[in-house]
Structure 1
């Protein structure tokens, strides 16, 4: 038995919408939760099996790096769209959607971004970037991770947000600026804030859930255009899933008229037992618990993209 067969079997019926293979999946894909993957540009060229697997199993694609500033903005004056355009063409040709990841992030920035010197410069560069990128794919990329990972790993009073060039120059209002700018360019796009580490049964995750909810409530109270929250399920395999806590968190977000997306899903297994059968059983259980916590025992309604940055 292959590792993949074992893991998929152990996940069981709770995750079946993700697991039905083509061509059977193609017959039900409009009713099922869309399944997607992060795409490695090199593998699309070098490995013929790779793009075919994407075609067979996926309805959504997202570039691992081709829309991040580090790849897209080699210099202040230039945009390098070729890789993103190639993936967009692949998605169009095969009847898929491409999600946009990401417009604003603390990481993966070229050196010239990290050298931004003041608030006026930061504001101008962020707005110019979002207007150019969202404008290029207006009407084609229908869902954007506008702000990625804004919350501190250990949020506390006075330090709720993760340090970044944007936070240092613009303060927490950079989140609102990014969302309002994206909405002005494409009013029909789904605008998403994407973050991680909400699912654990520890004080760190509970504090992060609270800080994140407080941020979202503030944005909603100011009528900031925000339509969905992306949950990055970077599950630490050695830690149990707080299913009640995750269910309550998702329900609170949904009560604010927000869609909740599983944008990424992987299990970090370096601290798990070495024997494959034991390790894979734990991996499968963690993924199953995560999805059950996310769904809260209800019929799945939200869209999902499963991948890894």
Structure 2
């Protein structure tokens, strides 16, 4: 039985109901990091150590499946600094130490963002002070972890065509107080503070082939052209890929692959950084829902991984038991969401097999 037939069988049968099927699932579920490594790729997930305390099975699952991790919250500004100039790295240090022990690379996330700011930051920003506040933060945080991380998401979600700016930049506090040069300054400062780390611009909605997504892609390419021409050290682009179950017709098409090719021509390494699929609009039937979610994973990742510049896939969680979507976009019918590769019991779902198929179909990176 091939993987696709196995997915069909899973979609028609509740996995946790049949012990014999559970055994078959476990036997067929090769670690995703292993499948990725065979193609020169990385596979991983967002990480919060508190979930391991709640579920030892999840800890075992994480270590078995992942060779790269992104801190879910622990390196965001409001998690590190509750008061001006005072930083507490203890939780983030524990995460980095855990990953080092288990040979898991860490993506630093994130240095400059309009969200997840401590309450004290906005009041301290002005055209006179904002540059110093931003650069001090980068120097403290990137400097603290210097040499320990694989990469940094230096700027996060800096584009917004809805702002009606010709350059497509989001009108956030950094842009308002520093100007368009804040992106250049952030990358240069991070390179100085942690020179061995890969420096990434992490962005949302670049995956979606519609008017908004097309405008974002155009803005991203224009920004990269201008910044790279000045020698700004941008090494990669992260595609968040928080996808929705009703987006199948605007994902993974030729225009998306053409955009990835444009990034490649600019010598960008590409990462899928926050992958999950919201199922709030999908049918209640678990089998039908799981099949739709799996088909989207397969279509999107197959298209993404055809481009050799894509170096890794990071899901925003592994088990449905620990998905932010449960709170962010719950189902109106009250049923549990099922956005990830493994169910609440850490058993593989059709989504797992779809991801595995896409990894197996990917060309090997040289």
**TM-score greater than 0.5 by the shorter chain:** yes
Q: Is the CA contact (8 Å cut-off) linking 2:83 and 2:120 kept in structure 1?
A: yes
Q: How many residues align?
A: 295
Q: Distance in 1 between matches of 2:46 and 2:79?
A: 15
Alignment of 1:283-298 (within 5 A): 283-295=293-305, 297=306
After superposition, give the CA deviation of every residue in 1:128-180 in whole Å (9 maximum; x if it has no partner): 11111111111111200000100015354436222322111012211111000
Q: Distance in 1 between matches of 2:310 and 2:131?
A: 36
Q: For residue 212 of structure 1, what is the aligned residue in structure 2?
A: 220
Q: For residue 207 of structure 2, what is the aligned residue in structure 1?
A: 199
Using the TM superposition, give the Cα deviation of residue 193 of structure 1 relative to its aligned residue in structure 2, in angstroms: 0.2
Q: For residue 13 of structure 1, what is the aligned residue in structure 2?
A: none
Using the TM superposition, give the Cα deviation of residue 211 of structure 1 relative to its aligned residue in structure 2, in angstroms: 1.1
Using the TM superposition, give the Cα deviation of residue 115 of structure 1 relative to its aligned residue in structure 2, in angstroms: 1.2
Q: Is the CA contact (8 Å cut-off) linking 1:230 and 1:261 kept in structure 2?
A: yes
After superposition, give the CA deviation of every residue in 1:268-295 in whole Å (9 maximum; x if it has no partner): 1111222222222211111112112223
Q: Does 1:21 align with 2:27?
A: no
SS, match of residue 265 in structure 1? strand
Q: Does 1:282 align with 2:292?
A: yes
After superposition, give the CA deviation of every residue in 1:203-241 in whole Å (9 maximum; x if it has no partner): 111111111111111111111110000011111211221
Q: For residue 244 of structure 1, what is the aligned residue in structure 2?
A: 254
Q: 2:139 aligns with which of 131, 134, 140?
A: 131
Q: For residue 179 of structure 2, what is the aligned residue in structure 1?
A: 171
Q: 1:82 aligns with which of 90, 106, 109?
A: 90
After superposition, give the CA deviation of every residue in 1:170-197 in whole Å (9 maximum; x if it has no partner): 1221111100000111222100000111
> How much is the aligned-residue C-alpha RMSD, in angstroms?
2.4
Higher deviation after alignment, 96-105 or 161-170: 161-170
Q: Is the CA contact (8 Å cut-off) linking 1:264 and 1:307 kept in structure 2?
A: yes
Q: Distance in 2 between matches of 1:276 and 1:247?
A: 31
Q: 2:65 aligns with which of 36, 57, 74?
A: 57
Q: Does 1:235 align with 2:243?
A: yes
SS, match of residue 304 in structure 1? strand
Q: Is the CA contact (8 Å cut-off) linking 2:206 and 2:217 kept in structure 1?
A: yes
Q: Distance in 2 between matches of 1:117 and 1:127?
A: 12
Q: Is the CA contact (8 Å cut-off) linking 2:70 and 2:107 kept in structure 1?
A: yes
Q: For residue 43 of structure 1, what is the aligned residue in structure 2?
A: 51
Q: Distance in 1 between matches of 2:49 and 2:78?
A: 15
Q: Distance in 2 between matches of 1:218 and 1:148?
A: 18
Q: Distance in 2 between matches of 1:68 and 1:299?
A: 30
Q: Does 1:270 align with 2:284?
A: no
Q: Is the CA contact (8 Å cut-off) linking 2:269 and 2:309 kept in structure 1?
A: no
Change (3 A) 1:218 1:141: same
Unaligned runs of 5+ in 1: 11-18
SS, match of residue 168 in structure 2? strand
Using the TM superposition, give the Cα deviation of residue 90 of structure 1 relative to its aligned residue in structure 2, in angstroms: 0.3
Change (3 A) 1:153 1:86: farther
Q: Distance in 1 between matches of 2:8 and 2:228?
A: 39
Using the TM superposition, give the Cα deviation of residue 255 of structure 1 relative to its aligned residue in structure 2, in angstroms: 0.3
Change (3 A) 1:203 1:274: same
Q: For residue 311 of structure 2, what is the aligned residue in structure 1?
A: 302
Q: Which runs of 4+ in 1 moved over 6 A?
A: 7-10
Q: For residue 15 of structure 1, what is the aligned residue in structure 2?
A: none
Q: Distance in 1 between matches of 2:279 and 2:163?
A: 26
TM-score normalised according to structure 1 size: 0.88
Higher deviation after alignment, 200-209 or 80-89: 200-209
SS, match of residue 284 in structure 2? coil
After superposition, give the CA deviation of every residue in 1:45-67 in whole Å (9 maximum; x if it has no partner): 23222222111111011211000
